[in-house]
Amino acid sequence: MARQSESGLPIEPVYGPKSLAEAGWDAAEKLGEPGSYPFTRGVYPSMYTGRPWTMRQYAGFGTAVESNARYKQLIANGTMGLSVAFDLPTQMGHDSDAPLAHGEVGKVGVAIDSVDDMRVLFGGIPLDKVSTSMTINAPAALLLLMYQLVAEEQGVEAGQLTGTIQNDVLKEYIARGTYIFPPKPSLRLIADIFRYCRAEIPKWNTISISGYHMAEAGASPAQEIAFTLADGIEYVRTAVAAGMDVDDFAPRLSFFFVSRTTILEEVAKFRAARRIWARVMKEEFGAKNPKSLMLRFHTQTAGVQLTAQQPEVNLVRVAVQGLAAVLGGTQSLHTNSFDEAIALPTDKSARLALRTQQVLAYETDVTATVDPFAGSYVVESMTDDVEAAALELMAKVEEMGGAVAAIERGFQKGEIERSAYRIAQETDSGERVVVGVNRFQLDTEDPYEPLRVDPAIEAQQAARLAALRADRDNAAVDAALAALQRAASGTENVLYPMKEALRARATVGEVSNALREVWGTYVPSEVF
């Protein structure tokens, strides 16, 4: 009897030549060579045979001082790139002393209120030597500009900066909820970021179009890539409509996916996503630069699959998930810490997570050859199946008028919620086995002391904000914010006046509020 994949597609007990022959499978059409269209086998000819993927660790908590210390420890342990987690107030454009920020300051990431905090966050870290990814969306422009300002203070030219801002607001409306502005001005802001980075920070990846958060909300692998690629299409259309040539910005687009414990389907998912994106960019947008056709992506292991019960078992899950990402051809990887279902990672658990990647890179043979599963009867069949399921969903989004129109109708959110409900039902019934949760439980769990964020951080950040406002030139701040609002009301690129406001030490909340006054805030429709 055939099992079903996470996407609800059948997995046959045995695959062979007949499986591919019946599907009319053509190796030249489906595969190509590594580093060549349609990039099924990977975006670079040598992949990991020349160098391994970038090993990132997503970190940030409490104050900038504490997070800075964690970053330095990760670098000392061999991390190749930093990945910054911001707290919820920062993600939603509020200062730490705002009433809405109460109880959330420093909890799920680092609190950054101004360029003063950003300076502390990256103190002693040479920004021309590290690659930095920032998980920030609605206020992505602010955090990028503060990063650039700190780099300038270090004497680092903007052209030397490398990294990524997530900057994917559409998935916030679908699955995550840390939006600020309505879709139209949000897309305008993203187009302004594309233009600004092309002119000012040319090596920066301007967006990381994310399926990870959809997967964490319950999306199946097929839904994850379908809705992520549909969002990507919307961003490309927005930039083209704003007068940009596709080959001027598309090479700096990147993506962000989850990696689950289901290795075969995850490998198939990554390969299918590359193939779909290459064809869309070539056939719909007429991209001519091969780099515009490449789907480059970061991967994070599946936090939603980690359990608070028997947390040490998560070490095994993360190793399997990391292996799936590597076999699928990721460009960079974050491996979750085993204790993240309980609390923020400790120093030891974060180090173990990094060591997991290092074992995969240096103690296994998965880096010895490109695309090890190429030609596998099961993986090639599953790649075709996931691709077909994703294309079907993408066609439904197109029928509704594109990603934004589908979001306004609640389509993606509804599909993901149905998938999440199915997973919950299967887990509750025992049909889906979760080790330590519905099978192989322990009568008593071993005690575990989690890392806790000091609630005094909120008062400390409020004191820093009071000192900043007393020390800065408030007239200069007001003038800079007024210039920003004039740009937001017209067609000028808002990042230039925004940078001057931040240089004058305007806060994240003040800049965001200035834009709220012009653009308004997003209110979900009733279908949500």
pLDDT digits (tens, 9 = 90+) for 71-114: 999 899 888 788 899 999 999 999 999 999 999 999 999 999 99
Q: What is the pLDDT of residue 528?
A: 38
Q: What is the pLDDT of residue 1?
A: 52
Q: Which domains does the chain carry? A: 3-57+166-429 (3.20.20.240)
Q: What is the pTM of this model?
A: 0.93
Tokens of 98: 């705002």
**Residue 338 pLDDT class (50, 70, 90 cuts):** very high
Q: Say yes or no to pLDDT of 26 above 90.
A: no
Q: 157-170: string of b/e by CB count within 10 Å (b at 16+)?
A: ebeebbbbbbbbbb
What φ, ψ does residue 4 adopt, rounded to 5°?
-105, 145
Q: What is the mean pLDDT of residues 355-372?
A: 97
Share of residues in the chain with pLDDT > 70 (%): 99
Which runs of consecutive H residues, i.e. helices, occur in 409-448? 411-429
**Which range is least confidently modeled, 56-60, 266-270, 295-299, 433-437?**
56-60
The position carrying tokens 């990063």 is: 147
d(CA 215, CA 419): 10
The position carrying tokens 């969002």 is: 231
Q: What is the pLDDT of residue 526?
A: 56
Contacts of 103 (CB under 8 A, 6+ apart): 458
Q: What are the tens digits of pLDDT across the range 384-432?
A: 999 999 999 999 999 999 999 999 999 999 999 999 999 999 999 999 9
Q: What are the tens digits of pLDDT across the range 491-522?
A: 999 999 999 999 999 999 999 999 999 999 99
Q: What is the pLDDT of residue 196?
A: 97
Strand pairing report for 10-11 and 3-4: antiparallel
